[in-house]
Structure 1
Amino acid sequence: MDILETDAYDRRQRRNTSCALFFSLLPFFLSTALYFYLWTPDIPSSITNAGVKSAPALLLAAAVLSWNGGQSVLGVVGGLVFSAVGDFCLVWPELFLHGMGAFAVAHLLYSFTFLSSRYTAYSSSSWTRFLYLILFLFGGAFYIYLYPFLQKAPNSDLLVPGVGVYILLIVVMGTLAIRTGRTSTLLGSLIFMVSDLSLALQVFKVTAPMEHGHLVVMVTYYLAQLLIAVGDVRAVESKDDFAKWKRS
């Protein structure tokens, strides 16, 4: 009977936690909806536009900080803040390199987080090693495919090595997400790669302008950040639950 009561209590606790987490994410959802409501294809670059675009990432960082405290500042919270800086910069095409640099720092912080003790490493298998290989081969193939277009772009002397380093960082981040064995973290990282791939194809004029290209980039981007943030909150919760179980 005690076991059944404990199990029921745990289910209630998880349900209450999920509801509380949802409400803490409401500002993120509302700011994301506001961004899509206000965005139009001919919207001019402005401080206001940049602020609206970067607000969801900052509000997501605030939500994670409220749940995890300072232990995520040099992790997912920091990554979200740098992502917001990247969002702000990318509103102006001439600040593309600055935005890419900010997102590169975000991927580094995410990678360090996925290596931290609160993410229990998933036991490596032939299947996971195969996924690692696929990600690195895909990243390398995409860079080779993109290379001729990078050479034609302005600032190609900076873009050619810069994009190569950026692709390496996001592939490493995706690989470490696989290592965590957490579904939301893994999906968030992979969807982030899809978002960046879509952006690169459009920015470097690899494909013809797509009617809903911007929406594809931003929907996948915000979804990716949400999943990574939720994964980090869940990782800390799991660690705390395990610590309580050991002390009991």
Structure 2
Amino acid sequence: METKDEKVIWKLLPFMASVGLYGFSDLPLEIFPETKLAHLVLKCIPVLCLLVMLLLHPTRTSSYSLLLQAGLLSSVVGDACLVYEHLFFPGVGAFGLAHILYVVAFGMSPPAWPIGGVTSVFALSVFYTVALPIAKGPFVIVFLLYTIVIGMMFWRAAALCTAEQPHWTNWTAAAGAAAFIFSDVLLLVNKFHFTLPAAQLIILGLYWAAQAGIAISVFSLPSSQEVSRKTQ
């Protein structure tokens, strides 16, 4: 008999198929039209699949799941914006909002202050070495705020792993938060510093892995049926 945790893989199949579809579209087979709209749709489908997965889960009305759903939806907006060069900074704003929603979802307990301190040092180091050299005028504040919120997002995700009995999906959320940071750093390096080999594949691969790791943390929640059985 399948366990609840084993069913997670099956629920991720549409997401994994959509990631494969995007990779297939990148091959020079001329099956998909090379337009901005086609790119936008194929790029957004994987995160939309994760959103649908949460909407179909028994815990979909819990505050944790609703916050993750809102974060995924905001991320889809960010994905769409980044397809267009002139919408880069609105896209940054959309992802910043997603990180804030994830922070609220993860909560502030346990505090795990040592992780917060190490994360702060790392985040500010990345800001000074990667973001600050390319930021001008008010965009210095934009990049600084984004660095703070994504750093907080990782801190709060990693803090869940310090609980007395962390669920295995708490670890995927922490790994996802870390992958999100590295994806964004590589995006900035590739866009503003120097071109990276296979940049699109690596950046999007890390990004989708990040969103999946965070999304499946909803499986750490007991369903309403399980709660009712325990209270009977």
Per-residue CA shift, 1:53-84, capped at 9, x if unaligned? 01110110110121122225641111111111
Partner of 2:107: 115
Shift in alpha-carbon separation, 1:242–1:190, aligned structure 2, 3 A: farther
Matched residues in 1 for 2:132 and 2:152: separation?
24
SS in 1 for 2:222: helix
Larger Cα Rg: Structure 1 or Structure 2?
1
CA shift, 1:146, in A, is 2.7
Partner of 2:119: 135
CA shift, 1:219, in A, is 0.6
Between the two proteins, the alignment pairs up a number of residues equal to 218
Matched residues in 2 for 1:142 and 1:105: separation?
20
Counterpart of 1:21, as a letter, is V
Matched residues in 2 for 1:22 and 1:171: separation?
28
| TM norm structure 2 | 0.84
| TM norm structure 1 | 0.79
* 1:191-206 superposed matches below 5 A: 191-205=179-193
- 1:236 lines up with 2:221 in the alignment: yes
CA shift, 1:242, in A, is 6.5
Per-residue CA shift, 1:5-46, capped at 9, x if unaligned? xxxxxxx5xx332343322221111111111111269x9651
Q: Structure 2 regions of 5+ residues with no counterpart?
A: 162-169
Partner of 2:25: 38
* 1:159-178 superposed matches below 5 A: 159-178=139-158
Q: Report if the CA contact (8 A) 2:130-2:185 is conserved.
A: no
Name whichever structure is richer in helix by fraction. Answer: 1
Matched residues in 2 for 1:46 and 1:147: separation?
27
Matched residues in 2 for 1:138 and 1:64: separation?
32
- 1:149 lines up with 2:140 in the alignment: no
Partner of 1:6: none
- What percent identity do the matched residue pairs reach? 24
Q: Report if the CA contact (8 A) 1:196-1:217 is conserved.
A: yes
Partner of 2:167: none
Q: Report if the CA contact (8 A) 2:115-2:159 is conserved.
A: no
CA shift, 1:236, in A, is 1.4
SS in 2 for 1:215: helix
Question: Which residue, 178, 184, 190 being the options, matches 1:190?
Answer: 178
Q: Structure 1 regions of 5+ residues with no counterpart?
A: 1-11
| RMSD, aligned α-carbons | 2.4
Matched residues in 1 for 2:140 and 2:104: separation?
25
CA shift, 1:235, in A, is 2.2
Q: Report if the CA contact (8 A) 1:143-1:167 is conserved.
A: yes
Counterpart of 1:218, as a letter, is L
Matched residues in 2 for 1:40 and 1:167: separation?
34
Matched residues in 1 for 2:183 and 2:106: separation?
20
Matched residues in 2 for 1:229 and 1:78: separation?
11
Shift in alpha-carbon separation, 1:239–1:47, aligned structure 2, 3 A: same
- 1:24 lines up with 2:11 in the alignment: yes
Partner of 1:213: 199
